[in-house]
Structure 1
Amino acid sequence: MSTGSLASHTASCSLRSQQHRSAFRPCLKAPGSSRRCRIQVKAEEGGKGDDAFEQRLATLKAAKKQAPYGKSRREEESPSEVKPKGAPAYDFRDETLYWEGPPHRGDLAINIALGTTLLWLPLTFAALGRGIFVNYRFTDRRLSVSTTAPWKTESLDAAYQEIKDVKTVGRGLGFWGDMVVTLRNGDKIELRSLPKFLELRDYILKRREELKAEGSSGQPKSAAKGFA
């Protein structure tokens, strides 16, 4: 290569280097990492512009399951109230509490006593979790099961009009029992170690028929899904 050609090649490389630095310098002034700057320079050199670069960032965020701008991941991951699918919204205002309480303490005591055997330990831990973190609530319009464990927080409500069937099984010589409530959409709600399980079963069935007979006062106010 001749001296003239070498000088021309060197000048051309120097010019391209200056153009690259001039495009990269404004990016260094903006907040963000140098890697993002290099991506931006490449996007601009490819002729796609800022819109294409922002679209790439949005695609990358979606792939990483990041929350959109203005929304936090805590808000998206915060536990919400569990509601039976396909059920209309009912008005629970001015409801009257009938009974509220945790699972029967007799079940907890028996499981703790049997926990001395290693084979019973899983059932003992399950009973401890129910006794500490689970609460049952019955009003004149609905039943509720709430869980407030550190690893699981949820609240399940079911209007009596949505209940199709109620089955119970006695435990602890009849002092408590398990209840399975079947909803019209096929979902089931389990209430374990429930005190007064026979009385509460009869109350559910009674209130269901009364609310159906009330007509407009017992009918849903809107067609929205879920429970209020």
Structure 2
Amino acid sequence: MEGLSSCPLMKLPYEIRQSIYDLYYAEASDLVFGVTNSNRLRVHLWCKGLLSLPLVCKELYAETLPLIYSQPCLTFHGSLALSLFAKSVPRQNLACIRTLHLISTPFKESPPAKGSPRSLVNVEWLQACGILADLAGLRRLEIAVDGGVYLLDPTDRYGRRRSMPEPSEKIFRSAFDPLVAISAPVDFDVYLYWSKKPAKTPFFDHPVPFRLWHNNKQLQ
């Protein structure tokens, strides 16, 4: 584009341009983020043309960039992907995010043999919870919790670890208490993809900002 005068779109009133942008991004598909083996952020654009409009000129970039963050659902495979994304995006753009889906596990793959319940929790998970708590514009949040807790099996002569499908109340709360600080979303669901539901529910004796699910059944 040679200039603003050569673009009929930029000659329209600002309110009309905004309506056009809303229609353009109305069916924006998910933006999916993951992490490569070298701990680099990888992005999959499951849509065509999402970035075409902002790249036309600086003025269109400034006017449409907030919609790139607010219209699609941003999906992150792993807490590390969310942390890397947050470090690479200006704070004002993070504030535009409206819908987010995180697929992660709060627990370490190889936790220490002995230690407090807190020592079983991933640092990346705690960082991700802090990032989500700072997203003031968030309106819809889904967290899919996969994996389980792997602890040393005292009955195994080789010292191997076994999966603990039913974390104790202390272990569960050490992982999920950080989610209580996330208060911005209007809709907030946490889905447990574990073979068995926690033995005791509810774990929280105080109001929490999310609904807890296991196998499509609400636990809290």
TM-score range, shorter chain: under 0.3
Q: Per residue, is there more helix in 1 or in 2?
A: 1
Q: Per residue, is there more strand in 1 or in 2?
A: 1
TM-score, L = length of structure 2: 0.25
Over alpha carbons, which structure has the higher Rg?
A: 1
Q: Which has the higher contact order (CA 8 A, sep 6+)?
A: 1
TM-score, L = length of structure 1: 0.24
